[in-house]
């Protein structure tokens, strides 16, 4: 008997595919994109069929057989599979892990992809002929018959009035029968979309909207560079109108923390359709349901974070990436993809337009826009009558500080508070203090796994290592000399919060950082209480910089810009400028003008000077020139090979061994191995090797032929290594 062979992607960290014989008993024909359960060593794994074929490079007689097929139709369609194949090649990541990342957890674990059926009850022929009055002695049964005479009814509805026993009794008498029906997807939005109130587009917005509308039927990438509040979202809303009207779906991607009920309701109100939301805080069931309803066309609009780029659609018409510079689009472990770059590839494959929007575009996107690979649009003015923020740099040198704040800063804060406005204080360091120091011997309490100082957390009475998560009880004496004279040094948000309460006792403050904001719900509630004016002082870390609008904030204080100014990472200046500009954008959104106070020991620093006088648009173009002179991305391409091991020499010599094969390709340089910025973490020494080339093709060729060398190296089993293509962080 003929048995086809299926090539399967399995969730294992091996760069290969696996062949299996198809089931003899299977009722369905195998097809790429279906899930199967297969034996793998002593385990069983769930994989996805990549290809169906007649022959294998392995001996057919030795092939094992598929145990079970989980689907009747593919869970991943052809477009999705093409994207994943591309991603596996581009990021040089094992195909099985790529496929499993793309699937919702429930499907990864083997749940069914068919939607749950609904049980309906209706009258049988006998039931239709039966006089209701003949059931005189059973009033409940009579009522059911009467109800069903009007037509079939769902069990759920019937159970509101009747218990299941009544239904069973009538079923036994063969008067009624049930039927399980899988509901047809409700795709009404495709034929009758209603559009809510909308403002007239400003002339600048109108130009962009009409340009985008003229190229809806083909691939293009447009970068909308517009200051915060300049009306980018309004451009998205008007640009997707014809897409949805034509019955095609739209994917809107937002940063992890920018996804708020306000964002969702803005889209919902405009189109009066249900919006599918995808983010990491949802249950597996919720995610699966949204995935399925996007797949069958029920949902026209999906708003989601990073992994929503993998959503199944049945007629995607446009992709929008808001705050495209945001670092949360990059996944920094296992399959290290950049959702923006994957989305661009997806748009290209599906031949649809993609919009990138940001007040502070990444230098990568800006470079593509300036060199005309992308369409480029700018919105210079804030929409409505909001005005731009004013910057002040406050010289911290020789100032007496209270909780890190200079007297002039405190005076300003009080002034704004007294006028009934809100003040936002930004400090990118959570916890109480970044170190615990002994006054007698100078000993600093240090995490022995990472050799970095512990952060003091007062509230929980603990020392926390922010690098590996290790924590222990806050000691009351020095671990070295037993002195009791130990004290926290430096300041984190927890301490500043106490400080604000001391300095401004008559005003209420709220702290927003990852310690106080566990869970989405919490953040949304806090944002609401800020909007309602319950708090006047808002204090937080970079969570505050992302996409939230605080119309009553008129003063923003950045407590310490110096630590970011002297960063070891070449993207440090870009990130600092994005952060300052984004935070400044939170202020003065309504008609109230905003002021930004930057505290620094280096008030004349050229970076800061340029940023505050000329704005991010100017500053970022200067940075781009610097990158060009230094041949750094986006003027070259990089990959980062990381290795960590218990013994430093192992990690080092493992990377050292890759230098020769990497350098064989023309135009490829390899820099390192050097210790990582965080030299030790969780008891392992970390080294890295930067591979760089002005040619993306050459870089990829070099990695491609080095990978087998890496994988077969004698230390490969002892060393934890990873490859990061287009790395964003060098920590
Ligand atoms: P961005 O996405 O660039 O931050 P938004 O689209 O959110 O900007 O616009 C900022 C504010 O201006 C919002 O309150 C929005 O409703 C309003 N707005 C945007 N465009 C217009 C317009 N053409 N007419 C009137 N108000 C507008
Ligand atoms: Zn001591
Ligand atoms: Zn640690």
Per-residue pLDDT of 576-598, as tens digits, reads 899 888 888 877 655 677 899 99
Q: What is the pLDDT of residue 364?
A: 97
The C-alpha angle with vertex 226 and arms to 223 and 228, in degrees rounded to 5, equals 135
Q: How far is the CA of 491 from the centre of ligand 2 (A)?
A: 21
Q: How far is the CA of 451 from the centre of ligand 3 (A)?
A: 7
Q: How far is the CA of 488 from the centre of ligand 2 (A)?
A: 13
- Number of other residues whose CB lies within 10 A of the CB of residue 218: 8
Q: How far is the CA of 273 from the centre of ligand 2 (A)?
A: 64
The residue whose CB lies within 8 Å of the most ligand 1 atoms, and thus the one to mutate among 204, 231, 382, is 231
Task: With a cut of 60, say whether residue 385 has pLDDT above it.
Answer: no
Which residue did the predictor score with more confidence, 702 or 164? 702
Q: Which of 61, 175, 98 is nearest to 129 (CA)?
A: 175
Least confident of 23-27, 169-173, 252-256, 578-582: 23-27
Residue 235 alpha carbon, nearest atom of ligand 1 = 6
Give residue 22's pLDDT band: very low, low, confident or very high (50, 70, 90). very high
Q: Which of 727, 718, 646 is nearest to 688 (CA)?
A: 727
Q: Is 228 in the pocket of ligand 1 (CB under 6 A)?
A: yes
Least confident of 32-36, 411-415, 517-521, 639-643: 517-521
Q: What is the pLDDT of residue 519?
A: 61
Q: What is the pLDDT of residue 384?
A: 58
Q: Are strands 249-253 and 301-304 parallel, antiparallel or unpaired?
A: parallel
CB 212 within 8 A of CB 374: no
Q: What is the pLDDT of residue 589?
A: 59
Q: Tell me the C-alpha distance between 421 and 87, whole Å.
A: 48
The mean pLDDT value for 99-123 works out to 89
Q: How far is the CA of 474 from the centre of ligand 2 (A)?
A: 15
Q: Which ligand is nearest to the CA of 359?
A: 1
Q: Whose CA is nearest to atom 20 of ligand 1?
A: 231
Q: How far is the CA of 277 from the centre of ligand 2 (A)?
A: 53
Share of the chain above pLDDT 90, in %: 59
Q: Is 383 in the pocket of ligand 1 (CB under 6 A)?
A: yes
Return the bridge partners of 124, or none.
Answer: none
Q: Which ligand is nearest to the CA of 548?
A: 1
Q: Tell me the C-alpha distance between 52 and 8, whole Å.
A: 9
Least confident of 101-110, 455-464, 523-532: 523-532
The mean pLDDT value for 64-82 works out to 93
Q: Is 234 in the pocket of ligand 1 (CB under 6 A)?
A: yes
Average pLDDT of the residues of the chain: 90
Q: What is the pLDDT of residue 235?
A: 97
Q: What is the pLDDT of residue 27?
A: 77
Residue 226 alpha carbon, nearest atom of ligand 1 = 3
Q: Whose CA is nearest to atom 23 of ligand 1?
A: 201
The mean pLDDT value for 209-215 works out to 95
Cis amide bond preceding 634, omega within 30: yes
Q: What is the pLDDT of residue 716?
A: 85
Q: Tell me the C-alpha distance between 252 and 60, whole Å.
A: 46
Predicted model pTM:
0.88
Q: What is the pLDDT of residue 19?
A: 95
Q: What is the pLDDT of residue 545?
A: 74
Cα 517 → chain centroid: 17
Q: Tell me the C-alpha distance between 702 and 604, whole Å.
A: 44
Q: Is 591 in the pocket of ligand 1 (CB under 6 A)?
A: no
pLDDT in tens, 468-521: 788 999 999 999 999 999 999 888 999 999 999 999 999 999 998 877 777 656
The residue whose CB lies within 8 Å of the most ligand 1 atoms, and thus the one to mutate among 233, 322, 324, 382, is 233
Q: Which ligand is nearest to the CA of 382?
A: 1
How is residue 203 written in tokens?
A: 């002339």
What is the helix, strand, coil percentage profile of the chain, to 5?
A: 35, 25, 40
Give residue 270's pLDDT band: very low, low, confident or very high (50, 70, 90). very high
Least confident of 115-119, 261-265, 324-328, 580-584: 115-119
Q: How far is the CA of 140 from the centre of ligand 1 (A)?
A: 58
The mean pLDDT value for 130-134 works out to 80
Q: Is 488 in the pocket of ligand 1 (CB under 6 A)?
A: no
Give residue 726's pLDDT band: very low, low, confident or very high (50, 70, 90). very high
Give residue 604's pLDDT band: very low, low, confident or very high (50, 70, 90). confident
The H or E element containing residue 722 is: strand 720-725
Q: How far is the CA of 685 from the centre of ligand 2 (A)?
A: 27
The H or E element containing residue 222 is: strand 220-226
Q: Which ligand is nearest to the CA of 205?
A: 1
The mean pLDDT value for 66-78 works out to 93
How is residue 730 written in tokens?
A: 């060098």
Which residue did the predictor score with more confidence, 375 or 585? 375
Residue 228 alpha carbon, nearest atom of ligand 1 = 4
The mean pLDDT value for 664-687 works out to 89
Q: What is the pLDDT of residue 501?
A: 95
pLDDT in tens, 438-453: 999 999 999 888 888 8
Q: Tell me the C-alpha distance between 498 and 87, whole Å.
A: 48
Q: Which ligand is nearest to the CA of 357?
A: 1
CB 698 within 8 A of CB 667: yes
Least confident of 192-201, 398-407, 537-546, 654-663: 537-546
- Number of other residues whose CB lies within 10 A of the CB of residue 144: 25
Burial (Cβ within 10 Å: 0-12, 13-18, ≥19) of residue 290: buried
The H or E element containing residue 286 is: helix 284-295
Q: Are strands 68-69 and 35-40 parallel, antiparallel or unpaired?
A: antiparallel
Which residue did the predictor score with more confidence, 50 or 527? 50
Burial (Cβ within 10 Å: 0-12, 13-18, ≥19) of residue 284: middle
Least confident of 115-124, 549-558, 568-577, 584-593: 584-593
The mean pLDDT value for 203-232 works out to 93
Q: How far is the CA of 384 from the centre of ligand 1 (A)?
A: 7
Task: With a cut of 70, say whether residue 96 has pLDDT above it.
Answer: yes
Q: Is 226 in the pocket of ligand 1 (CB under 6 A)?
A: yes
Rounded to 5 degrees, φ, ψ at 334 are 40, -105
Task: With a cut of 90, say whether residue 64 has pLDDT above it.
Answer: yes
Q: Tell me the C-alpha distance between 641 and 569, whole Å.
A: 16
- Number of other residues whose CB lies within 10 A of the CB of residue 257: 23
Q: What is the pLDDT of residue 238?
A: 97
Q: How far is the CA of 429 from the centre of ligand 3 (A)?
A: 16
Q: Which ligand is nearest to the CA of 472?
A: 3
The mean pLDDT value for 95-122 works out to 91
Q: Is 582 in the pocket of ligand 1 (CB under 6 A)?
A: no
Which residue did the predictor score with more confidence, 650 or 428? 650
Q: What is the pLDDT of residue 371?
A: 96
Residue 236 alpha carbon, nearest atom of ligand 1 = 6
Q: Which ligand is nearest to the CA of 445?
A: 2
Least confident of 140-154, 317-331, 646-660: 140-154
pLDDT in tens, 162-185: 888 888 888 888 888 888 888 888
Q: Is 263 in the pocket of ligand 1 (CB under 6 A)?
A: no
CB 49 within 8 A of CB 33: yes
The mean pLDDT value for 457-464 works out to 89
pLDDT in tens, 194-203: 888 889 999 9
Task: With a cut of 70, say whether residue 33 has pLDDT above it.
Answer: yes
Q: Is 205 in the pocket of ligand 1 (CB under 6 A)?
A: yes
Rounded to 5 degrees, φ, ψ at 282 are -90, 160
Q: How far is the CA of 435 from the centre of ligand 2 (A)?
A: 14
The mean pLDDT value for 60-78 works out to 92
Q: Which of 508, 443, 501, 511 is nearest to 477 (CA)?
A: 443
Which parts of 486-605 fold into alpha helices (H)? 493-503, 520-531, 562-565, 572-585
Q: How far is the CA of 494 from the centre of ligand 2 (A)?
A: 25
Q: What is the pLDDT of residue 1?
A: 64
Sheet strand arrangement including 462-464 = 455-457, 462-464, 471-473
How is residue 539 written in tokens?
A: 């204090």
The mean pLDDT value for 216-242 works out to 94
The residue whose CB lies within 8 Å of the most ligand 1 atoms, and thus the one to mutate among 225, 229, 238, is 229
C-alpha to C-alpha distances, 244 to 75, 192, 270, 297, 317, nearest whole angstrom: 24, 10, 12, 12, 8
Q: What is the pLDDT of residue 550?
A: 84
Q: Is 199 in the pocket of ligand 1 (CB under 6 A)?
A: yes
Q: What is the pLDDT of residue 547?
A: 62
Share of the chain above pLDDT 70, in %: 97
């Amino acid at each position: 008997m003929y048995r086809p062979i299926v090539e399967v992607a399995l969730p294992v960290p091996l760069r290969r595919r696996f062949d299996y014989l198809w089931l003899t008993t299977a009722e369905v024909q195998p097809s790429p994109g279906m899930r199967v359960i297969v034996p793998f060593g002593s385990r069983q794994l769930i994989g996805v069929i990549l290809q169906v074929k007649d022959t294998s490079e392995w001996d057919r007689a030795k092939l094992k057989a598929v145990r079970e097929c989980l689907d009747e139709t593919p869970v991943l369609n052809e477009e999705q599979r093409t994207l994943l194949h591309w991603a596996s090649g581009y990021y040089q990541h094992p195909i099985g892990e790529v496929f499993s990342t793309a699937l919702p957890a429930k499907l990864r674990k083997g749940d069914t992809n068919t939607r749950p059926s609904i049980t309906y009850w209706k009258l049988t022929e006998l039931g239709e002929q039966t006089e209701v009055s003949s059931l005189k002695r059973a009033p409940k049964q009579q009522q059911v018959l009467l109800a069903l005479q009007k037509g079939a009814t769902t069990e759920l509805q019937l159970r509101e009035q009747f218990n299941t026993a009544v239904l069973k009794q009538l079923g036994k008498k063969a008067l009624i029968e049930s039927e399980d029906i899988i509901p047809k997807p409700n795709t009404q939005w495709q034929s009758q979309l209603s559009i809510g109130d909308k403002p007239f587009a400003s002339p600048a917005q109108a130009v962009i909207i009409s340009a985008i509308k003229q190229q809806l039927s083909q691939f293009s990438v447009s970068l909308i560079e517009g200051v915060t509040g300049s009306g980018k979202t309004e451009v998205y809303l008007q640009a997707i109108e014809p897409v949805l009207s034509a019955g095609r779906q739209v994917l809107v991607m937002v940063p992890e923390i920018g996804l708020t009920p306000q964002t969702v309701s803005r889209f919902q109100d405009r189109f009066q359709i249900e919006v599918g939301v995808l983010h990491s805080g949802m249950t597996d069931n919720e995610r699966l349901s949204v995935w399925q309803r996007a797949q069958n066309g029920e949902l026209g609009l999906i708003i989601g974070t990073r992994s929503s780029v993998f959503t199944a659609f049945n007629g995607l018409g446009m992709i929008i990436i808001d705050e495209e510079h945001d670092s949360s689009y990059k996944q920094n472990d296992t399959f290290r993809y950049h959702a923006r770059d994957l989305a661009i590839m997806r748009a290209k494959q599906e031949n649809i337009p993609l919009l990138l929007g940001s007040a502070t575009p990444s230098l990568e996107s800006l470079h593509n826009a300036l060199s005309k690979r992308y369409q480029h649009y700018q919105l210079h003015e804030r929409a409505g009558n909001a005005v731009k923020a004013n910057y002040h740099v406050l010289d911290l040198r020789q100032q007496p500080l209270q909780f890190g704040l200079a007297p002039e800063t405190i005076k300003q804060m009080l002034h704004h508070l007294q006028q009934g406005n809100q003040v936002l204080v930004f400090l990118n360091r959570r916890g109480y203090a970044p170190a615990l120091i002994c006054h007698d011997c100078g000993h600093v309490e240090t995490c022995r796994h990472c050799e970095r100082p512990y952060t003091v957390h007062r509230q929980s009475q603990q020392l926390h290592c922010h690098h590996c998560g290790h924590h222990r009880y806050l000691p009351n004496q020095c671990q070295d000399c037993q002195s009791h004279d130990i004290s926290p040094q430096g300041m984190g948000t927890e301490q500043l919060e106490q400080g604000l309460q001391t300095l401004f006792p008559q005003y209420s403050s709220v702290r927003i950082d990852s310690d106080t904001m566990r869970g989405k719900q919490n953040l949304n509630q806090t944002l609401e209480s800020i909007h309602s004016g319950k708090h006047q002082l808002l204090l937080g870390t970079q969570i505050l910089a992302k996409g939230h609008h605080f119309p009553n904030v008129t003063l923003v204080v950045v407590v310490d810009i110096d630590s970011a100014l002297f960063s070891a990472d070449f993207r440090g200046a870009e990130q600092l400028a994005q952060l300052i500009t984004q935070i400044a954008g939170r202020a003065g959104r309504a008609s109230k003008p905003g002021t930004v106070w930057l505290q620094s020991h280096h008030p004349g620093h050229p970076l800061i000077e340029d940023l505050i006088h000329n704005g991010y648009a100017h500053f970022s173009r200067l940075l781009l020139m610097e990158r060009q002179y230094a041949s750094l991305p986006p003027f070259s391409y990089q990959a980062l090979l990381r290795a960590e091991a218990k013994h430093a020499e192992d990690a080092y010599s493992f990377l050292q061994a890759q230098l020769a094969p990497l350098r064989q390709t023309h135009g490829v340089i390899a820099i390192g191995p050097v210790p990582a910025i965080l030299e030790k973490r969780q008891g392992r020494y970390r080294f890295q090797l930067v591979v760089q080339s002005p040619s993306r093709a050459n870089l990829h060729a070099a990695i491609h032929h080095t990978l087998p060398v890496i994988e077969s190296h004698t230390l490969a089993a002892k060393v934890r290594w990873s490859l990061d293509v287009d790395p964003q962080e060098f920590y």
